[in-house]
Amino acid sequence: MSDRTLSRKMIPATKKRSQALDVWKRLRKSNSAIAGLILIFIFLCLAVFAPLIADYENDALKMNIIERLQSPGADHWFGTDEMGRDIFARIVYGTRISLFVGVISVSIALTLGGTLGAIAGYYGGKIDNIIMRTLDVLLAIPTILLAITIVAALGASILNLMIAVGISNIPGFARVVRAAVLSIKDQEFIEAARAIGSRDHTIILKHVLPNSMAPIIVFATLKVASAIMATASLSFIGLGIQPPTPEWGSMLAGGRAYIRDNMYIVLYPGLAIVLTVLSLNLIGDGLRDALDPKLK
Amino acid sequence: MDYKKKMTMLFALVLMSLTLPVYAGGAQEETEMAKDEVVVALSADITSLDPQGHNDTKSEMVSFLLFNRLFRLNTDFEVVPDLAESWEQPSDTEWVIKIKEGVKFHDGSEMTAEDVKFSMDRSKEAPKVQQVLSEVASIEVVDKYTVKFTTNSAFAPFLYTLVHAGTSVIPKAYVESGDEFAKPIGSGPYTFVEWISGDQVVLKKNEAYFDKNNMGQSSTITFKVIPEGTSRTIALETGEVDVVPELPTIDMNVVKDNSDLALYEKPSTRVDFFAMNTEKAPFDNVKVRQALNYAIDKDAIITVAIDGAGVKAESVLAPSFLGYKAGPYSYNPAKAKELLAAAGYPDGFEMEIMTSGDDRKKIAEVIQASLMEVGIKASIKMLEWGTFIDSVLRGDEETLILGWTSNPDPDATLTPHWFSGNIGGMNFARVNDPEMDRMLKEGREELDLGKREVIYNKLHTYIMDKAPWVPLFVKNNIVGANAALKGVELSPQGLWNLEKLHY
Amino acid sequence: MIKYVIRRLMMLFPVMVGVIFLVFFIISLTPGDVATIILGDGATEERIKDLREELGLDDPLIVQYGNYMIDLVQGDMGKSYSTGLSVAGEIKQRFPNTFKLTITAIFLSVLISIPIGVISATRQYSIFDNIGMIVALIGISMPSFWTGLILIILFSLKLGWFPSGGMKGIMSLILPAFTLAIASTASITRTTRSSMLEVIRQDYITTAKAKGVSRRSVINKHALKNALIPAVTVIGLEFGVLLGGAVLTETVFSWPGIGRLMVESIQRKDTPMVLGCVIVFALSFSIVNLIIDILYAFIDPRIKSNYS
């Protein structure tokens, strides 16, 4: 009995570790992926240490009419917005919101889409057909339009935004997870697990998913990037996060009227989005190449 | 398999599908008619060419050029005759109006009293404008050029209702032909050419217009839809449009500093206000409402939201109205805190501001920041316009931000906003105050202007003392135009008499 | 082949039925009473009640859906709640504009990304490869309304090369199409590059090289045509992304397309118009993918055999 448990854990674990090491070795060779990792690390630090960098209430939220629309300078590195709030402070706190929204909405999509995809891929046949045909319905509507429709229905708030972006990404994740599961479900160690009488959900959760993680991680990384973009787009249409929350997309959308005379109001939040999304894309791309050794 | 051939074919296919529509678009002739056309930028498409099928200012601009009403408003918002030749009032509830003879519709047929009666009857049934003539009990044809309106009760501002686009006179024969306003026929100074949905409306000068003094000036007027504010200003600068009726206030300086462009500014009658739902705690407490009147920094709102293009509102109507009196409040956070403490909220409370639209969102943000100073935590709930109005009519809101453009008579605004019977309607603060109801009735029935003024003076004082609103500002209408464009006129509602625009 | 096309077309029906139901359901969750929204502020209770009855808004959702589907099957998409105009008529006017914009964008993006992808692959790890990929990635990292505004300021206002918006001739098409194209350049470049790399390594290319065929001709004659197959699929998928992106681009560039119409209609809770737009979006997306699949089979007969 103890031997069995041991072997059950052993097979995928060794495979996983060596694979991860391989991937890391190859990833390290890619300058752009490393640049992306460094950038994301900086943004993560900003998010975590925001309170040490700026005061939320006083710098990011409080109106200060006398100091409105100031160009970037020593007092305000990135200038101030139309209400006299420090743009740098708002961007720093905005990192939290943007990354949070991106990660959570992708988690929603991953959990729901992943479950459906895994079930479809693992069982195949009729179940597969029913699930995938149902998801075709979601897939037929362009992601951003689906998100707009959902936010319009639920009302604009951080939670609803994440739900909308999450739901509209379900079919994508389902497809990726299904494909990943399909590619390994007939491999030996899965057969072995089945032979020793493991239950289906145990096999899926403990053996199939951990070993099909690679393409899913790549996809998720890229989707966090597009979720951040989707949030910005929704803000532009007026369905963004409610003020005064310093979210990049709404800073960009709210400041766009000032683009002529006070370019910096939209320049810095825009750059923040570009850099974050870019670094996620670089990492995603790097991972994709690293995971697909035949290309290198 | 010859892959290359196939790939070439594929690309040729893509190319063809691409070039065909593009060149069709390119083939549209670029009219270079030495500036005899005027292009007006609209922030949204019109909703309908049927003058009784819309109730918004964009569609109204087009309707006003295609159709005539019995009366119209001049730039000072006074009622002047349009189709009406003469009118009299045989009794308190009867109005006999004679229209001009020989007015021709665009198809050449003559306008008669039949058309007038038909249009008014249709207006009363049209979903979008049925409220306009709600005071009218019946319309009769007296003779070929005369109609008689009978109102439900004595109704002094009656002629004002006949200036609304919804009371435009449309040819009976045309409506009955079933064209459904695909190619509308009116009597106005311009005739219809085309409406490309979401893109533009093109009108052509009506050479046979009946009113030789108010003929259209340029040969075509095109309304171009440009939803994005910055894009509207840029289109003005590049000369793609000649006049922008709703210039974003942020771009006022761009227009002012450009010698090729001219900026027109005129005070509106629109009061933007913050209303508190007096049915909900803590806004049922007059001290709280007064505190908010002291706490909100109106100067900051004017600076941030409208870039200084307006004046502070001190009461519930614009200052130009009969019987206007300013309220006692000024920006004073300390006093606000005192009042809050006296009301039992020394540490403030949490509340929600509901509103709609990007401009109002900015106002909401400033109010939110003002309230933060006195310890009140306000959250902002942005809704789509339709949803917003629906929630407001149901009284779901705690507080709201809205603007209201008033008709020239004070009663037309005061009764909807303050009469207890209009709770669930325009009584946004949901005020039910018998004393207010009494004063409103008194004001409406008083015919002597001096006495009426006194009554409204008292009413203003009373309302502001109860403080259900924080009146915020009266915005100026801002119009940007090409400096060479002549005939740019503004009324309190904005760009006016568009038929006069020309180079 | 024909059997395959027919089967794919048949599969569109259940998807469309599902799409319509889904959107019907989502819109029904939107707060606000349609009748009140249509009639506006001054409406009486009675009129609102009448209108609700007229529009069948008091019926259960499933009945409303059923009625809509019955009309739709007869080719009737209904009338817009807010303008009273025929939905089919509006869409007929607006959709070609969006299609024109999207196709041009696809074309531009192919024009940009295939060469970059090919060169990147042939000079793997070179500076060109790295910079090309990063530029392409920056493209998808920029919010399109932001890019659009910057392009307008630069190319219309400062340089005066293109009109700032509207739909008048070929010049007005360039900026919005380019803005839209930027977003899909990255994925097409990436796909071209990696499939090119894959092909280059295959035996017959090595053989061709060994035989002394020139590098350029190897790439043109042998590698490119095979590498383009996956790129074609990605182009199909990107079509959906572009259709969605059109919503923003159309607003910034005052382009009278269907994306803007849909967002405006959502805001007015104009259910028939929203449904009309969604049907057109979903249909055109599905059909483009179908066409791509057929082309795919046409280019590479091996695939066809899998389906028949």
A259 contacts in chain C (CB < 8 Å): 149-150, 153
Chains that touch B (3 or more CB pairs under 8 A): A, C
Is any Cβ of chain B less than 8 angstroms from the Cβ of A142? no
More confident residue, A186 or B362: B362
pLDDT in tens, A113-153: 999 998 998 888 899 989 988 888 888 888 888 888 898 88
**Measured between CA atoms, how close is A281 to chain B, in angstroms?**
30
**Measured between CA atoms, how close is B365 to chain A, in angstroms?**
7
Nearest by CB: A260 against B254, B304, B384: B254
Short-list B210, B165, B164, CA closest to B189? B210
**Measured between CA atoms, how close is A259 to chain B, in angstroms?**
8
pLDDT(C30) > 60: yes
Angle at which helices C127-141 and A31-48 pack, to 10 degrees?
40
Nearest by CB: B365 against A238, A243, A257: A243
HSE-CB of C22 using CA atoms within 13 angstroms: 24
Residue B16 phi/psi, 5° resolution?
A: -65, -45
Is any Cβ of chain C less than 8 angstroms from the Cβ of B131? yes
Mean pLDDT of A166-191: 85
A289 contacts in chain C (CB < 8 Å): 194
pLDDT(A4) > 60: no
In this prediction, residue C219 carries a pLDDT of: 67
**Measured between CA atoms, how close is A200 to chain C, in angstroms?**
30
Task: Say yes or no: ipTM exceeds 0.90.
Answer: no
Q: Hey, are the CB atoms on C269 and B386 less than 8 Å from each other?
A: yes
Q: Following DSSP, what letter does each residue of C153-181 receive, concatenated?
A: IIIIIIS--S-SSS--TTHHHHHHHHHHH
Nearest CA in chain C to B29: C169
A243 contacts in chain B (CB < 8 Å): 361, 364-365, 368, 380
Least confidently predicted of A292-296, B241-245, C275-279: A292-296
Which of B123, B199, B232, B407 is most worth mutating to test chain C (most C CB atoms within 10 A of its CB)?
A: B199
Q: Hey, are the CB atoms on A256 and B303 less than 8 Å from each other?
A: no
The confidence band for A187, taking pLDDT boundaries of 50, 70 and 90, is confident
Cα gap B157→B165, rounded to integer Å: 16
C-beta separation of B362 from A258 below 8 A: no
Q: Hey, are the CB atoms on B227 and C260 less than 8 Å from each other?
A: yes
Is any Cβ of chain A less than 8 angstroms from the Cβ of C197? yes
In this prediction, residue A8 carries a pLDDT of: 44
Cα gap B459→B415, rounded to integer Å: 11
More confident residue, B257 or A191: B257
Which of C7, C145, C267 is most worth mutating to test chain A (most A CB atoms within 10 A of its CB)?
A: C145
In this prediction, residue B203 carries a pLDDT of: 96
In this prediction, residue B354 carries a pLDDT of: 93
Nearest by CB: A236 against C16, C141, C145: C145
| Largest pairwise CA distance in chain A | 75
Short-list B21, B182, B240, CA closest to C98? B21
Q: Hey, are the CB atoms on B250 and A259 less than 8 Å from each other?
A: no
In this prediction, residue B27 carries a pLDDT of: 35
> Cis before residue A244, ω within 30 degrees of 0?
yes
**Measured between CA atoms, how close is C193 to chain A, in angstroms?**
10
Q: Hey, are the CB atoms on A156 and B229 less than 8 Å from each other?
A: no
In this prediction, residue C308 carries a pLDDT of: 34
pLDDT in tens, B336-349: 999 999 999 999 99
Give helix then strand counts, H and E, for chain B. 15, 19
In this prediction, residue A7 carries a pLDDT of: 43
* Per-residue confidence in pLDDT tens, chain B, 503 aa: 454 455 454 444 444 444 443 333 333 344 444 588 999 999 989 988 999 988 788 899 999 999 999 999 998 888 899 999 999 988 888 999 999 999 999 999 999 999 999 999 999 888 778 778 888 999 999 999 999 999 887 777 788 889 989 999 999 999 999 888 989 999 999 999 999 988 999 999 999 999 988 899 999 999 999 988 889 999 999 999 999 998 999 899 999 999 999 999 999 888 999 999 999 989 999 999 999 999 999 999 999 889 999 999 999 998 888 889 999 999 999 999 999 999 999 999 999 999 988 889 889 999 999 999 999 999 998 887 777 887 888 888 999 999 888 777 788 889 889 998 888 878 999 999 999 999 998 887 777 778 889 999 999 999 999 999 999 999 999 999 999 999 999 998 889 999 999 99
Size of interface A-C (CB pairs under 8 A): 133
Is any Cβ of chain A less than 8 angstroms from the Cβ of B372? yes
Q: Hey, are the CB atoms on B234 and C257 less than 8 Å from each other?
A: no
pLDDT(C265) > 60: yes
Residues 6+ apart with CB under 8 A from A170: A109, A112, A113, A116, A135, A138
Is any Cβ of chain A less than 8 angstroms from the Cβ of C93? no
More confident residue, C233 or B399: B399
In this prediction, residue A5 carries a pLDDT of: 42
Q: Hey, are the CB atoms on A256 and C146 less than 8 Å from each other?
A: yes
**Measured between CA atoms, how close is C14 to chain B, in angstroms?**
29
Cα gap B272→B472, rounded to integer Å: 5
Q: Hey, are the CB atoms on A61 and B372 less than 8 Å from each other?
A: yes
Q: Hey, are the CB atoms on A244 and B368 less than 8 Å from each other?
A: yes
3-state DSSP assignment of residue B240: coil
* DSSP β-ladder status, B220-225 and B37-42: parallel
A154 contacts in chain B (CB < 8 Å): none
**Measured between CA atoms, how close is C44 to chain B, in angstroms?**
8
C168 contacts in chain B (CB < 8 Å): 25, 28, 30
pLDDT(A59) > 90: no
In this prediction, residue B208 carries a pLDDT of: 92
Nearest by CB: C248 against A233, A274, A278: A233
**Measured between CA atoms, how close is A144 to chain C, in angstroms?**
6
pLDDT(A3) > 50: no
Cα gap A80→A64, rounded to integer Å: 9
Write the CA distances from A245 to A78, A104, B355, integer angstroms.
18, 17, 17
Which of B249, B361, B371 is most worth mutating to test chain A (most A CB atoms within 10 A of its CB)?
A: B361
Residues 6+ apart with CB under 8 A from A284: A218, A219, A221, A222, A225
Short-list B60, B95, B97, CA closest to B82? B97
**Measured between CA atoms, how close is C145 to chain A, in angstroms?**
8
Q: Hey, are the CB atoms on B387 and C36 less than 8 Å from each other?
A: no
* DSSP β-ladder status, B350-355 and B399-405: parallel
Which of C36, C54, C83, C247 is most worth mutating to test chain B (most B CB atoms within 10 A of its CB)?
A: C83
Is any Cβ of chain A less than 8 angstroms from the Cβ of C251? yes
Sign of CA dihedral B396, B400, B402, B408: positive
Is any Cβ of chain A less than 8 angstroms from the Cβ of C130? yes
pLDDT in tens, C160-219: 899 888 888 888 899 999 999 988 888 888 888 878 877 777 766 667 667 766 766 766
Nearest by CB: A142 against C15, C137, C243: C243
Residue B478 bridge partners (DSSP):
B265
Question: Cα–Cα–Cα angle for A140, A144, A150, nearest 5°?
Answer: 90
**Measured between CA atoms, how close is C235 to chain B, in angstroms?**
12
pLDDT in tens, A11-51: 444 455 666 777 788 788 777 888 899 999 999 999 999 88
In this prediction, residue C133 carries a pLDDT of: 79
In this prediction, residue B80 carries a pLDDT of: 92
